[in-house]
């Protein structure tokens, strides 16, 4: 078999199993990537190490028929202090290393209108559509993602991968690199 034929057969096998709309990533400065499209209404900026989490969120939104509106992603720590050559964070936030997003959800309804789920809605199951509940359920069953609504100080718009707890050394490395080299976006 020649290469083109192998490729054709592989495409036929793979295509039916891929989900509908996929996210587009574009490299920005540093190790940050910009993502948009798929089930994201707008765009956000994350560390390259958080790309797969973004892809999973896109898949969950697809399965639950909701759209994700990003309200915050990578952030600069404007209050950080410089101790010689060591950059000390003002607080440990996964936004500072591009491993967190803040979002609202949107559900397209059959009458053509949309249900908008903001912080208040995300924090109150009674205000959510079936799709919005479904999306949070998927995050609850993801082995690495954490939902801020379950934090001791609830932050229902927040989703991250807990890199600050799982791997503090990597958090510190990313913080020093991204906070020093990347411009505010
Ligand atoms: C929140 O915590 C509950 C109780 O541990 C868990 O069942 C649920 O899956 C969590 N939800 C999310 C979205 O993480």
Q: What is the pLDDT of residues 51-92, one digit of tens each?
A: 999 999 999 999 999 999 999 999 998 877 766 666 677 689
Residue in 41, 51, 40, 57 with CA at minimum distance from that of residue 74: 51
Cβ neighbours for 52, distance < 8 A, ≥ 6 positions apart: none
Q: Is the Cβ atom of 140 under 6 angstroms away from ligand 1?
A: yes
Nearest atom, ligand 1, residue 147 CA: 14
CA distance 169 to 154: 26
| Cα dihedral 71→48→13→4 (10° resolution) | 130
Q: Which helix (H) or strand (E) holds 16?
A: none
The predicted structure's pLDDT at residue 115: 98
**Residue 113: pLDDT over 90:** yes
Name the residue with the closest Cα to ligand 1, atom 4: 150
Reported confidence tier of residue 4, pLDDT bands at 50, 70, 90: low
Nearest atom, ligand 1, residue 141 CA: 9
Instruction: Give the residue-averaged pLDDT of 132-146.
Output: 98
pTM more than 0.75: yes
Q: Are 161 and 99 in contact (CB under 8 A)?
A: yes
Name the residue with the closest Cα to ligand 1, atom 9: 140
Instruction: Give the residue-averaged pLDDT of 136-165.
Output: 97
Q: Is the Cβ atom of 144 under 6 angstroms away from ligand 1?
A: no
The predicted structure's pLDDT at residue 184: 61
Q: Is the Cβ atom of 125 under 6 angstroms away from ligand 1?
A: no
3-7, 111-115, 153-157: segment of lowest average pLDDT: 3-7
pLDDT-above-70 percentage for the chain: 84
């Amino acid at each position: 078999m020649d290469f083109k034929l192998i490729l054709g057969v592989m495409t036929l096998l793979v295509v039916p199993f891929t989900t509908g709309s996929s996210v587009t990533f574009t490299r920005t400065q540093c190790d940050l990537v910009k993502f948009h499209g798929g089930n994201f209404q707008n765009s956000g900026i994350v560390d390259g190490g958080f790309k797969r989490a973004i892809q999973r969120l896109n898949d969950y939104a697809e399965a639950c028929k909701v759209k994700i509106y990003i309200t915050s992603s990578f952030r600069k720590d404007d209050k950080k202090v410089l101790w010689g050559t060591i950059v000390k964070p003002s607080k440990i936030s996964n936004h500072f290393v591009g491993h967190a997003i803040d979002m609202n959800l949107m559900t397209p309804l059959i009458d053509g209108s949309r249900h908008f789920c903001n912080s208040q809605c995300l924090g109150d199951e009674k205000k959510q559509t079936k799709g919005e509940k479904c999306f949070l359920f998927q995050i609850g069953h993801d082995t690495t993602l954490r939902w801020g609504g379950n934090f001791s100080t609830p932050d229902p718009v927040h989703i991250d991968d807990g890199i600050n707890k799982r791997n503090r050394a990597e958090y510190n490395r990313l913080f020093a690199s991204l906070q020093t080299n990347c411009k505010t976006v």
